[in-house]
Structure 1
Amino acid sequence: MKTILKASTTLGALAGLMLMTSGCAEFYKKTYDWSDAKGTEFTKALANEYYQFGQSEENIMYDDLEAAYFMKKANKVQDGCPIMPEYLDGWKLPNHTVPELQAARDRLIFAMQNGAQTIAPQMTAKAQANYDCWVEQQEENWQFDDIKLCRDTYYMSIDAVEKLVFGSMLQAPPAEVIEFATDSAALDAKAMEIIDEAVIFASSTEFGRRIHLIGHTDASGSNKLDKKLSHERVMAVKQELEKRGIPASMITTEAAGKMKGKKHEADHRRVDILFLEYK
């Protein structure tokens, strides 16, 4: 579990000890119930989202520590104090989940930097709370339906936020990921199935979608070779999309090179397929 709101003060230490005892979620729930909401429409909505999630952890999951953690966040936000989406370095997450979680956080931060809390306060609060829910559930990594629910709700919410904030364009999550063998840009049968699915999805909207491809490698080679290999991988996918009828003008590519991590991370040898949707 994430360390609960670290603090160097005696009060923070006492709060930490309180959270390690049974019934601590009830303490924060009562504090929340007796407080008057302050701050903006966004902070009020976010406080409520954290409160509801804390109640779920307490009454459905029977996880008192996590319930207390999110109840305490609800109290802090209710007092008008801003809280950022969870930082990943404090959580023990499966390595293969980190790239998507980091990209999702970056996406939310970008929307917030462009005024999402003011333009779409309710949906931005829902996106942040469900992102934090996704992180918490992903660390536990066994309640897969709950992981999916938090993840899906985050993406639904951020899609709505981006439509309101950016108007004419929104970037969807990586809908498909194609993995490769070591030092290879060859597409196997599974990759071909994923490309077929991407073509169907790209054609399934009245607005039309552009496709953005991002090529990655693991950290086993030199920067120069990894940049070249990530380009070869992304171009292999692009060529197959074009063979299936996607115009070259609708596809953009990015050779990102190596991803940080261990030298031979299988899930780092990949191409992410993202969709850019235009009105």
Structure 2
Amino acid sequence: MKKYLLSTIPVAFLAVVPAKVDAAIFFDNVEQIRTMAPTGTDFNSGLVREYKQLTIFEADEMYDWIDAENHATKGVMAANGQTPMPSDPAEWAIEDPAKLQELELGRSSMMALFNKGARTVAPLEAAHAQAKYDCWVEQQEEGHQPMHIAACKGEFESALAGLRTAMEPKKVEATPKETEMDVVSVVEEVARETVYFPFDQAVIEPTEQAKLDKFVAEMKNIQPVVTLYIEGHADTSGPADYNLALSASRADSVRTELMRQGMTIGDYEQLQVEPEGERNPAVATGDGVRERLNRRVIVVARGQVTKSKKVSVTTQ
């Protein structure tokens, strides 16, 4: 929660923010981004999608309306053609000098890539890195959820590494006598959504159902979607074999709901629905720990994208 935002919210209202309240009168950008489809340049569209996901999690799962509004404001800016900058950790109430320096170094590394054209060369990777950095700054300022801090930091570092890879010069092949441009269709990721589940259940809650409904609506706006890949997860509370079966049930619940709404799902026999059980947690914990962020199903949409590709032609 940024320092300047704290000064704009009435103290009496802050006292009840953690409860389920109608906060739309104070946090209008949160409500606006809920129904907003990604739009604008590839980078801005990616920011809208990333900040929307952060906003909904902070508002609906953590009841942190101030940070939700901060994320939503950036998403709305991106949708309106503006380019929000990554958070400046110096403007946040981060008391540990070592943590502040670590954040500043991370931002400096990311901005160096942005200044080399990352927003244009690798727009989706750049948007992902910026959102995960802002997640890290926010969690570090709060300071009371070490696992959430570690998760956001780890996701940022992974996103930054992916951005560096995407920015690396492509290998130059031997120069042919002629080259020509060919238009090809490739299949790549176009969107993803995460659905969280209650402890020891595979039932989709109303807030998560609303997320799925909006996800389906967005997919119908960016057709054609070739297939959806569904990956189920569980936390470490309970036996591993039980959690594997529970993660499969959660994935199947989401699969059934998406099929009900007319979405094309990858062939179950070809393992497009993946039960992961306790493997690959969003937040690393010890055994026997309940963690909502790990009780999740990830839906990845992959679609056909038309691109121009150089085709080498050697003349005789």
TM-score for the superposition, normalised by structure 2: 0.46
Unaligned runs of 5+ in 1: 7-12, 169-279
1:28 is aligned to 29
1:111 is aligned to 113
| 1:26-105 → structure 2 map (5 Å cutoff) | 27-33=28-34, 35=36, 37-93=38-94, 94-105=96-107
- 2:132 and 2:106 map into 1 onto residues whose CA distance is 11
- 2:74 and 2:4 map into 1 onto residues whose CA distance is 10
- 2:4 and 2:77 map into 1 onto residues whose CA distance is 13
What amino acid is aligned across from residue 80 of structure 2 in structure 1? D
1:143 is aligned to 145
Cα separation, partners in 2 of 1:156 and 1:167, compared to 1, 3 Å: farther
What amino acid is aligned across from residue 157 of structure 2 in structure 1? Y
Q: Deviations for 1:90-144, whole angstroms, at most 9, x for unmatched residues?
A: 1111211012111100000010111111111111111100101101100111111
- Alignment check: 8 A CA contact 2:39 2:48 kept: no
Cα separation, partners in 2 of 1:45 and 1:110, compared to 1, 3 Å: same
Q: Deviations for 1:179-208, whole angstroms, at most 9, x for unmatched residues?
A: xxxxxxxxxxxxxxxxxxxxxxxxxxxxxx
What amino acid is aligned across from residue 2 of structure 1 in structure 2? K
- 1:44 and 1:147 map into 2 onto residues whose CA distance is 26
- 2:50 and 2:143 map into 1 onto residues whose CA distance is 22
2:127 is aligned to 125
- 1:3 and 1:78 map into 2 onto residues whose CA distance is 25
Cα separation, partners in 2 of 1:66 and 1:91, compared to 1, 3 Å: same
- 1:31 and 1:127 map into 2 onto residues whose CA distance is 23
Shift of 1:37: 4.6
| 1:1-16 → structure 2 map (5 Å cutoff) | 1-4=1-4, 16=8
- 1:4 and 1:38 map into 2 onto residues whose CA distance is 28
Q: Deviations for 1:65-110, whole angstroms, at most 9, x for unmatched residues?
A: 1111211221111111001111122111121101211110000001
The structure with more helix, counted as a fraction of residues: 1
- Alignment check: 8 A CA contact 1:38 1:78 kept: yes
Cα separation, partners in 2 of 1:5 and 1:115, compared to 1, 3 Å: farther
SS in 1 for 2:86: coil
Shift of 1:164: 1.4
- 1:48 and 1:34 map into 2 onto residues whose CA distance is 11
- 2:123 and 2:154 map into 1 onto residues whose CA distance is 19
Cα separation, partners in 2 of 1:18 and 1:35, compared to 1, 3 Å: farther
- 2:98 and 2:156 map into 1 onto residues whose CA distance is 19
- 2:70 and 2:137 map into 1 onto residues whose CA distance is 13
Q: Where has structure 1 moved over 6 Å in runs of 4 or more? A: 18-21
State the identity %: 28
Q: Deviations for 1:16-75, whole angstroms, at most 9, x for unmatched residues?
A: 459967504763233224556543110111111111101111111111111112112211
- Alignment check: 8 A CA contact 1:4 1:69 kept: no
Q: Deviations for 1:191-227, whole angstroms, at most 9, x for unmatched residues?
A: xxxxxxxxxxxxxxxxxxxxxxxxxxxxxxxxxxxxx
- 1:154 and 1:144 map into 2 onto residues whose CA distance is 15
- How many residues matched? 160
TM-score for the superposition, normalised by structure 1: 0.52
- 2:82 and 2:10 map into 1 onto residues whose CA distance is 21
Shift of 1:3: 3.4
SS in 1 for 2:141: helix
Cα separation, partners in 2 of 1:35 and 1:54, compared to 1, 3 Å: closer
- 1:152 and 1:104 map into 2 onto residues whose CA distance is 12
Cα separation, partners in 2 of 1:4 and 1:69, compared to 1, 3 Å: farther
Cα separation, partners in 2 of 1:120 and 1:18, compared to 1, 3 Å: farther
Please provide the CA RMSD for this pair.
2.6
